[in-house]
Structure 1
Amino acid sequence: MSPKYLGRCPNCGAWNQLIEEKIQDEKLTQKATPSRRENSKNIQPEPITKVNFQEEKRIKTGMSELNRVLGGGIVPGSLVLIGGDPGIGKSTLLLQVSGQLQQTGGTVLYVSGEESASQIKMRADRLNVTGDNLYLYPQTDMSEIRNSINDLNPDYLIIDSVQTMDEPEITSAVGSVSQIREVTAELMNIAKQQNITVFVVGHVTKGGAIAGPKVLEHMVDTVLYFEGDSHQAYRILRSVKNRFGSTNEIGVFEMQEEGLAQVDNPSEIFLEERLADANGSAVVVSMEGTRPILVEVQALISPTVYGNAKRTASGVDNNKVALIMAVLEKRANILLQNQDAYLKATGGVRLDEPAIDLAIAMAVVSSYKNIGIPSSDCFVGEVGLTGEIRSVDRIAQRVAEAEKLGFNRIIIPKNNLNKWRPNTKIEIIGVSTISEAIGKVF
């Protein structure tokens, strides 16, 4: 706390880090949020056995991929935060969803702090989005937005974006920590007290995290990240927090001239350009939430021209790559300390579960030996530091997905075979060590 502005913090020495926060008058605070205080006084403790629970009826959008990421559909009265890089398609997605929701009979209020109504209408015409129940409102003043909500009483509210909204009672600049926190708290009250589903767009920092205080993600019900390269057509919508469904669920979309089109079978997209029997290529069956997807993992191993070997990875964790290569060198006698390694998960997807370890190891060995892996083989398994192949979860779903896409053989941990009796046409090979897996493949 400081009574006046300081250019440099006297404690940590950082410049321009002090933020002005005006202490609100207690009477003003009570006047601004009377319903919240009145509701809290009426709540009494009660035994859990006497608490009545009613299953929320979810509202389906016209995009099954979005329904999947949300946990089965939109929960009325929920607050959903969507983040992503500029130009990735956040506003396009929400405008398309707005058009679909108003067709179900609900009223949608689309509030934009970044574009005029004519600009939004121009994009809506390109996306073929129209309807009498879709209202456009270019506004940043939260007091005016609250008045419009009370007059219109919409079923759905779109805020694009939270960093442009202004709470008049807060004196700090728009987009500051205090403004974002108060605006989000106000939107949460609107969602819960008036049972309005609120979608909020959030800007991201250079590091990819949603800009603003971390409390922003804690306050909302669901956090979705829109991932992908703006130079490529495919986009991945990933759930990282969901109070009404599973996390790490993904939906795959393709950006077209008419807007975002959902991809029903992303495994085919990730594998469609794979070269047959190419060395350094292995296919893994990864679980993204409740969905199994097949992704190609590529490795390029080449002798280093410098003293220290280089390890570079895209789509997989760099530390995981270094760990697996150390296991291969120690447990499988494959000399990699003088080899540069470049690894990539194709299609723009990011893989981080333990079951991808075996596919990474096989891709590295394939590139090192310059021997291609049969295109009909795929892999599942976690690699331990002692060279063992550890069991993974949901093995039946993984095997079924590989069989559905036409693979003839899948290599899995042997311990998974001890706990599960397969009834499939695909050949299943169980391995217990990394050396055994290399012997089976090469």
Structure 2
Amino acid sequence: MSSKPEAFLCSACGNTELRWVGRCPSCDQWNTLVEVGAVLESSGEQPHVVQEVSVSESLPYSTGLAEVDRVLGGGLIPGSVTLVAGTPGVGKSTMCLHAAVNVGSHGVSTLVIAAEESESQVAARARRLGSLSEHVSLMATASLGDALRVVSETTAKVVVVDSVSTMVDQSLRSPSGGVTQVRAAAEQLAAIARKRGIALVLVGHVTKDGDIAGPRALEHLVDTVVYIEGDRHHQRRVVTTTKHRFGPSGEVGLLEMGPQGLTSIDDPSAALVAERGPALPGSVATVLAEGTRPLVVEIQALVTPAVGTPARVAQGVSATRLRQLAAVLDAHCDVGLVRADLFVACSGAVRATEPAVDLAVIAAALSAFQGHALDPGVVCIGEVGLTGSIKGVAGITRRLEEAARVGLVTAVAPPGSTAPEGMRLISVATVAELLDALVSLRDTKSDTTKRPL
């Protein structure tokens, strides 16, 4: 059952407005607008027995990028609405166009609606991504009315709208990109896609704070929210889902941007470990478990003398958690970090926000503060509490197995952890015990000269 929005009717001329105003814009009469109640309409839909509902049409369409397919749980589901968001220049349009070209190459009709570029611009980029198929169609328009008409009539099974933030409904008085325009475009396009079983991909913009531009209801409207992150000047891109109705959310995929578009990184953990280089103070490995696949990453720390108020700067890790961990170090280890600036980052453009990286952050900070490099084969996993105790984390065995697979040989973990065969396990229950254990984990080949602050 659908509902027409409530309106205000002018008793003098019959003009309708979506909201009340003192003077009617049509006849210039004052105080003539009265509220008209919403009118409910029935679509005639009837309930169906679940056992009789066909699921054969729900098989996903592969995007051609293995990492993206894994994040999406196999690909684009017919009748689903996927929102792809990211900063300008990060590769949103390239990734979505790559998916459309790949689906079309398998004989499935696809349609790309370009609201920001001309047809020639999109076609030129599509040719760089691979051989084009006659099953891929392109239309350049920012008019929501034209887009709705084409989506209602098309035979395409996959439709990409780039971007929903620039679609304009001429019947609305709000500016392009406003909350009203974005909501209207997303709601109407999603309704048609679900009714016709079309896999709809909406490209969205983000604000300077990293949030999706437009109404918050936009994220509730879609089935899947995909973020693509990374530095536009760097090749690596990180794809993750914050919402996914067809599988687990939080999955992470790694891509590389090259002259031919985006390609998947076959073994992300091995690729990130290979980038570490020689043993240096402030570098420690840890393992994330966002989603179903563990991922080995490097935590880096830098400690310098503070000039004024000590700074706590985080990149890729939680800033709040970093300040908390620095306070725990000062309270329970008395290392003098309170007089120093502390910078911590997660390398590889990956976000390490789960508590399991706490132990690695503290180990990296101590290594940088003391000027001693740790053995590159060490991995630290564990959550640190305010009392200085080190707690266990979910999936510790799975994390350690991934660390052993990529060549890490020594694990520092909470008591009760089980290491795979061939890996040395050092159990630490408090940060004070960690401080003592780090002495035996120093890399003997590197310079161990302490740098006083």
User: Normalised by the size of structure 1, how large is the TM-score?
Assistant: 0.87
Determine if the alignment matches structure 1 residue 152 to structure 2 residue 140: no
Instruction: List aligned pairs for 1:120-159, cutoff 5 A.
Output: 120-159=122-161
Moved more, 218-227 or 162-171: 162-171
Once residues 188 and 425 of structure 2 are traced to their aligned partners in structure 1, the CA distance between those partners, rounded to angstroms, is 55
Aligned equivalent of 2:13 = none
Return the letter of the residue paired with 2:405.
K
Looking at structure 2, the residues matched to 73 and 143 of structure 1 have their Cα atoms a distance apart, in angstroms, of 28
Answer whether contact 1:415 1:432 (CA < 8 A) is retained.
Answer: no
Q: Is the 8 A contact 1:163 1:180 kept in 2?
A: yes
Aligned positions of 1:336-347 closer than 5 A:
336-347=337-348
Residue 59 of structure 1: aligned partner: 61
Q: Is the 8 A contact 1:298 1:363 kept in 2?
A: yes
2:443 aligned residue: none
After TM superposition, list the pairs within 5 Å mapping 1:243-282 onto structure 2: 243-282=245-284
* Alpha carbons 1:269, 1:347 under 8 Å: kept: no
1:341 aligns to what SS in structure 2? strand
Q: Deviation per CA, 1:277-297, whole angstroms, max 9, x where unpaired?
A: 311111111112112111111
- What is the one-letter code of the residue matched to 2:348? G
Q: Is the 8 A contact 2:62 2:99 kept in 1?
A: no
Larger radius of gyration: 2
**Corresponding residue number in structure 2 for 1:294:** 296
Within 2, Cα distance between the matches of 1:140 and 1:61?
Answer: 25
The alpha-carbon distance between structure 1 residues 215 and 24, as it changes in their structure 2 partners (threshold 3 A), is farther
- Counterpart AA for 2:325: I
SS at match of 2:416: helix
Deviation digits for residues 233-264 of structure 1 (CA, Å, limit 9, x no counterpart): 11111111111111121111111011111112
Opposite residue 326 of structure 2, the aligned amino acid is: M
Shift of 1:386: 0.9
Identity of aligned residues (%): 34
- In the other structure, the counterpart of 2:10 is none
Match of 1:118 in 2: 120
CA contact (8 A) 1:228 1:348 kept: yes
Cα distance in 1 between the residues matched to 2:148 and 2:140: 13
1:155 positional shift: 0.3
Contact 2:67/2:253 (CA < 8 Å) preserved in 1? yes
CA 128–57 in structure 1, closer or farther in 2 if over 3 Å, else same = closer
Distance 1:150 1:340 in 2: 58
Aligned residues of 1:392 and 1:416 also touching (Cα < 8 A):
no
**Kept after mapping to 2: 8 A contact 1:141/1:167:** yes
> C-alpha displacement at 1:52, in angstroms?
6.5
> Is 1:218 aligned to residue 220 of structure 2?
yes
Asked whether 1:437 is paired with 2:434, we answer yes
Q: How does 1:299-314 map to 2 (within 5 A)?
A: 299-306=301-308, 308-314=309-315
Query: 2:169 is matched by which residue type in structure 1?
Result: E
Counterparts of 2:112 and 2:397, CA distance in 1? 43
Q: Structure 1 pair 4/268, CA: closer, same or farther in 2 (3 Å)?
A: farther
| Aligned-partner residue type, residue 130 of structure 2 | N
Give, in whole Å, the separation in 1 of the partners of 2:36 and 2:80.
30
Structure 2: give runs of 5+ residues left out of the alignment. 1-18, 24-32, 440-453
**In the superposition, relative to structure 1, how do residues 52 and 332 fare at CA in structure 2: closer, same or farther (>3 Å)?**
farther
Q: Is the 8 A contact 1:95 1:129 kept in 2?
A: no
Asked if 1 retains the 8 angstrom alpha-carbon contact of 2:329 and 2:335, the reply is yes
CA contact (8 A) 1:127 1:258 kept: yes
Deviation of the 1:2 alpha carbon: 6.1
**Contact 1:278–1:372 (8 Å) recurs in 2:** yes
Equivalent residues in 2 for 1:13-24 (5 A)?
A: none
TM-score normalised by structure 2 residue count: 0.85
* Counterpart amino acid of residue 290 in structure 1: T
Question: Considering only aligned residues, what root-mean-square deviation do their CA atoms show, in Å?
Answer: 2.5
Q: Which amino acid counterpart does residue 424 of structure 1 have in structure 2?
A: E
Cα drift, residue 26 of structure 1 = 8.5
Aligned pair 1:401/2:402, yes or no? Answer: yes
Would you say 1:283 and 2:285 are equivalent positions?
A: yes
Residue identity opposite 1:386 in structure 2: T
Aligned partner of 1:38 in structure 2 is 43
**Secondary structure of 1:236's match?**
strand
Shift of 1:39: 4.2
Q: Which runs of 5+ in 1 are unaligned?
A: 6-21
2: CA distance, partners of 1:285 / 1:23: 62
- How far apart are 1:388 and its partner, in Å? 0.9
Amino acid paired to 2:110: V
Cα 1:154–1:317 change in 2 (3 A) is: same
Question: What whole-Å deviation, never above 9, does each CA across 1:126-146 have from its counterpart, x for those lacking one?
Answer: 222411000001122233223
Work out the CA distance in 1 between the residues paired with 2:97 and 2:140: 14
Counterparts of 2:349 and 2:150, CA distance in 1: 41
CA–CA distance in structure 2, aligned partners of residues 291 and 233 of structure 1? 22
> Matches of 1:257 and 1:304 in 2, distance apart?
43
The residue type paired with residue 57 of structure 1 is L
CA distance in 2, matches of 1:83, 1:130: 25
Partners in 1 of 2:22 and 2:344 — Cα distance? Answer: 52
Report the equivalent of 1:3: 21
CA pair 39-64 structure 1, distance change in 2 beyond 3 A:
farther
Distance 1:434 1:3 in 2: 64
Match of 1:331 in 2: 332
Q: Is the 8 A contact 2:404 2:420 kept in 1?
A: no
